Structures are given as structure tokens and as C-alpha cells.
Structure 1
């Protein structure tokens, strides 16, 4: 039986991967994360792990000896990375070098999550071999981690994704959909930007993409996201329409009204041809994603 170790297993993608593999039953999962386990009970093993500790990473990987490691752990708060570059470097770059060295020792295949933010947003949507130009410390740290992997000589895949949305059972993770829904239900007036464009990604789709890479041991860079190019304002309106909420509470604004430490790319989005061809990846539409969220919220 294949053994897969997941870092960041308490996060949104981490929990979706643990759940996906638990349903499949043909893989033994070692779920790792900081602090107590937040996943639903299942047949996996949970182990606390701080990926910034080289000793902990080596000890854990050598002990469990996984065939595949999926690294979903990261510091993803873009403005926080700008304000605390030291932590950003430690979690997003140095921790990846610890994982690479440990995977080298036990010959594990490493799947690493990266981001659309490595691009400057001038020419989106992007394919895998387009030239990166990071605009923020977060983006630069993720690009640096990609370079570490490419230069490492280990078997690996880099999965770039963006704006991941979904629901976890304990509601410990928020995202734009849940924020819009909650705000409108509470009759709050919200300002949402119309001058940034993304292809938002349902967490379940991203988990399936990662699992397909693990199954095939597919090496290289893959763009894995949703297929609909939308602005946050478009997403907010679609969310209001889908859940029957008052969209008059949503004010359309441009990004200049917000003071944010980190610069965001204007228009990213991904061309998914490679993932479709090599992984059989087929994402749902944004509307289908909203339907999945609605059905999950009914069971929370």
C-alpha cells in the first residue's frame, strides 16, 4: 500500500486530501500539522510536525518513510509575509529545503504547492512555462521554493494554484465565498474589488489534481485551478445570487481604495491544458463549486 505524508494537514487543502484518501482506502496517509488534529476521524495516522525544524522533518520522514510527500504547509497571508519576511522565508523557503533533503535521503516523491502570485499579472492567464515576475515577498518566497526543487535533483512536482475556496467541517478556514455569504446574511455592506482577475479553485478539485500527480508520479510543473476567470466582485455577486442574498449590499470598488502592504498581480488565471492532458484534470465551474459548498454547509 502506498504511503503518503501530508504536511499542513489541518489546512483547507490538507483536510480535503486526508478526506479524499480516506474515502479511497488504497493509500495509508500520515497527516502532519502544527498543534492538535483538526481532521474528522479516519483510518489515517496523525503526527504533529513543525516543518521549520530540520530535526523534526528528518525524524518524521525517516520514521514513516513515505513514498510520496505532499507539502501543503505554507505562510499564505500575503500582507503578513510583507510585514514579517523572516517568518515567510523560514516557512516558505527554508522548510522546503528541509523536506527536499529528507526526501532525498529516503527517495520520496515530493509534491509542492505554489501560487499564481509568482506572475506579475500583466499577461494572464498563464501557462506553466511563462516567465515569472513576483511582486511581493510572499510571491518571491514561493518562486524561491520552486527553484530549490528544480535544482534539487529529487523526483518532484510543483502544483501552482490560486484563490482556493471550500468548507471544512469545523469552519476553521474562511474564504471569499464564506465571507460574502456571512456578511450579507448579517446585512453588512461590503466593498469588493473589480480590478483583479483569477480562476478560483474549489479545494476538492485541487485535492484531486494533487492525488492524480501522486498516482502517476507525474514530474514537472502543473497549473491546477478553476476554469472560470472572475473578479472578486463577480464572485461576490454570483455568491449572492446563488444563496438568494441581497446583492445591493455589495459595492463594486477598485483595489486603490485598500491600503495593503503587498502588491497583488492584476490578472492571473491559468491555462489548464497540461493538467487536463497529463492528469485527466477537469475542474467544476464556479457555479458547480457554489453548489458543492451549499451541500457541505448543510452538514456542518
Structure 2
């Protein structure tokens, strides 16, 4: 198998590189826009710069490299940025997918495409793959359009992996998430407002990487929900973080989502049923408590 990975500098991309770079059955090619952030960590990793919004570049790299599988993780994912920069969002999240889907269909390459719970309207939790989409934000609309494009491309072998609230640590670079934000704020003695009227099934980045690999390895066909299995509010997650690090939970202020002014609307309820991925792929995600412990271990190792 020759696997081309887009977005290798991002959180999921970095976890996929960590998972697959020494897999003996895989010839891995990492790609991203700009320089390779992982060069010092994985000196033997093959890397090519690739801007997936550039049709000529996509055509050139794919025809030169001739991968058998593509996992497409590159995207514009900041919800408010997408709302404020709608053309850039559409170019990165839809136009780029059109380029990849077309060439993958032409070359008989299996495409695993990443999507999101933000394609849903937030009226229900614990959604399965047959749930009816209804995005509230431009980000959600762009990701739904990309899904529809993938499914409508003639001759394309595809899998769509939808996920929810991904958290984890970067090998190279920095990126905040709910775990780090809560830990660092409470360590400083800061009172923080945490939403209690949104529900998600938070996803450890390592679990999502494993799920994507299972999809590619099996050349799976169809839509799969890949997330954690516990339905939690951000406040409940923050409470677990405080307990894990033995920090003062009284600094957590429970608020509702209307407290914050945000450009892009967030669905109140999502969270996924993952029975299909468990049954068909052998997907086995960590609990949120287990994920916290793994992230803590990684942060400790990085600090040494």
C-alpha cells in the first residue's frame, strides 16, 4: 500500500504519521502546505509540499507518486474564521476536495475524507450515520458540500470519517484544546466560564488516527462515525480535567452558550453512535479519562 496523507502538519496528520511511519506494509508520503514540521522528529519520513487547493499541484503530485490510498485531513476548521472568510473556507474545504476526488477516481485511488459533526443542526445527540444533516454555520455547510461531492464523484472509491471535538497534543507546534486550556487556567488560579448546555462525544486524536487507518487499510466504503463514546458537556469535561490534575473545581463557572458571542453558530447537541465503526472496522476508542491520562503522559514526556 502506498498512502498519501494531506495535512500532515495538523493534529490528526501528526498522529497518523506517528501511527504509520514505521508500518512495514505502508509506503507513506506526508504532504502539507508549507514546510514539514515533523522533519526533526521523523528524519526518514518522505514529505512533499502540496497545496490541495491548486489543481495543477494535485495532478502533478498524484501522477508522479501514484498512491493507492489517500487520507485527506487538510481543511480550514476554525468555525469563526470560516464564517468571516467564507471564500477561503469554501476553497480549502470544497474546491480542494473536488481536485482530490477527481484524480482519485481517475487513478482508482481509495479516498478517506474527514468530516465533522458540525454538518448537523444540534437538535439531537448520539447520531448515527443515517442522521439528516442541517448545518448551522458556513464551516458546517462547506463540510457537507464536500461530503456530497465525494459521494457524487463517478467511479470514486471512498470512505467518509465524521468526527467530534478532537483533542490531543502536537508533536511539533502548539495548539490549544479544552484539556490544556482548563489545566493551564486552573493552575494559574483563573476563574473560567465553561459551557454546560452543549453535548459532544470528545475524540482523542490517536483514536481518530486509528479509525482513519482502519478505513484506509480495509478500503472501506461509506460513511463512518469515529469519536469517543461518552456524551459529555464541556463543563463535565472540564470537571474531569480538574479532578485528574487535582485542581480547584470551584474556579469553573458553569454558563450557557449564549454567554459567548461567536461568528459561527455551534450545534447545541451532537455526539455520535459509533456502533458501525466498532462492528465493521474493529474501532475501539479510549474513554475520556483514559485520553486525559495519555495526554498528560505525552505532555510530561515533552517537558523532560
The TM-score with structure 2 as length reference comes to 0.96
- In 2, the alpha carbon distance for the partners of 1:63 and 1:189 equals 54
Bigger Cα displacement from structure 2, 171-180 vs 290-299? 171-180
Q: Does residue 122 of the first structure (1) align with residue 123 of the second (2)?
A: yes
**What's the secondary structure of 2:253's corresponding residue?**
strand
Counterpart residue number, 1:77: 78
- In 2, the alpha carbon distance for the partners of 1:25 and 1:168 equals 24
Output one character per residue of 1:156-206: Cα deviation in whole Å (capped at 9) or x when no partner: 000000100011123522211111111112222211100000000000000
Provide closer, same or farther for how the CA distance between residues 126 and 66 of structure 1 changes in structure 2, counting only shifts above 3 A.
same
Q: Does residue 34 of the first structure (1) align with residue 33 of the second (2)?
A: yes
- In 2, the alpha carbon distance for the partners of 1:209 and 1:4 equals 15
Provide closer, same or farther for how the CA distance between residues 42 and 219 of structure 1 changes in structure 2, counting only shifts above 3 A.
farther
- In 2, the alpha carbon distance for the partners of 1:30 and 1:257 equals 44
- In 1, the alpha carbon distance for the partners of 2:25 and 2:135 equals 39
How many residues are aligned here? 299
User: In the TM superposition, what is the alpha-carbon distance from 1:42 to its structure 2 partner?
Assistant: 4.6
Q: Does residue 16 of the first structure (1) align with residue 18 of the second (2)?
A: no
- In 2, the alpha carbon distance for the partners of 1:173 and 1:266 equals 24
Give yes or no for contact 2:14–2:171 (8 Å, CA) kept in 1.
Answer: no
**What's the secondary structure of 1:158's corresponding residue?**
strand
Q: Does residue 224 of the first structure (1) align with residue 202 of the second (2)?
A: no
Which one of the candidate residues 264, 267, 273 is aligned to 1:265? 267
Output one character per residue of 1:217-248: Cα deviation in whole Å (capped at 9) or x when no partner: 01000000001111111111100110112222
Output one character per residue of 1:72-121: Cα deviation in whole Å (capped at 9) or x when no partner: 00000001111110001000000000101121222110000000011111
User: In the TM superposition, what is the alpha-carbon distance from 1:24 to its structure 2 partner?
Assistant: 2.5
Output one character per residue of 1:24-72: Cα deviation in whole Å (capped at 9) or x when no partner: 2321111001111112215321111111111111111111111100000
**What's the secondary structure of 2:80's corresponding residue?**
helix
**What's the secondary structure of 1:142's corresponding residue?**
helix
Give yes or no for contact 2:196–2:255 (8 Å, CA) kept in 1.
Answer: yes
Counterparts in 2 of 1:183-222, with a 5 A limit? 183-222=185-224
Bigger Cα displacement from structure 2, 182-191 vs 221-230? 182-191
Give yes or no for contact 2:167–2:203 (8 Å, CA) kept in 1.
Answer: yes
Give yes or no for contact 2:197–2:256 (8 Å, CA) kept in 1.
Answer: yes
Counterpart residue number, 1:5: 4
- In 1, the alpha carbon distance for the partners of 2:220 and 2:264 equals 33
Counterpart residue number, 2:175: 173
Give yes or no for contact 1:22–1:42 (8 Å, CA) kept in 2.
Answer: no
The TM-score with structure 1 as length reference comes to 0.97
- In 2, the alpha carbon distance for the partners of 1:161 and 1:23 equals 25
Counterpart residue number, 2:292: 290
Counterpart residue number, 2:301: 299
CA RMSD of aligned residues (A): 1.0
- In 1, the alpha carbon distance for the partners of 2:22 and 2:289 equals 25
- In 2, the alpha carbon distance for the partners of 1:70 and 1:186 equals 39
Give yes or no for contact 1:28–1:44 (8 Å, CA) kept in 2.
Answer: no
**What's the secondary structure of 1:298's corresponding residue?**
helix
- In 2, the alpha carbon distance for the partners of 1:37 and 1:247 equals 39
- In 2, the alpha carbon distance for the partners of 1:11 and 1:147 equals 24
User: In the TM superposition, what is the alpha-carbon distance from 1:135 to its structure 2 partner?
Assistant: 0.6
**What's the secondary structure of 1:92's corresponding residue?**
helix
- In 2, the alpha carbon distance for the partners of 1:113 and 1:37 equals 21
Give yes or no for contact 1:197–1:266 (8 Å, CA) kept in 2.
Answer: yes
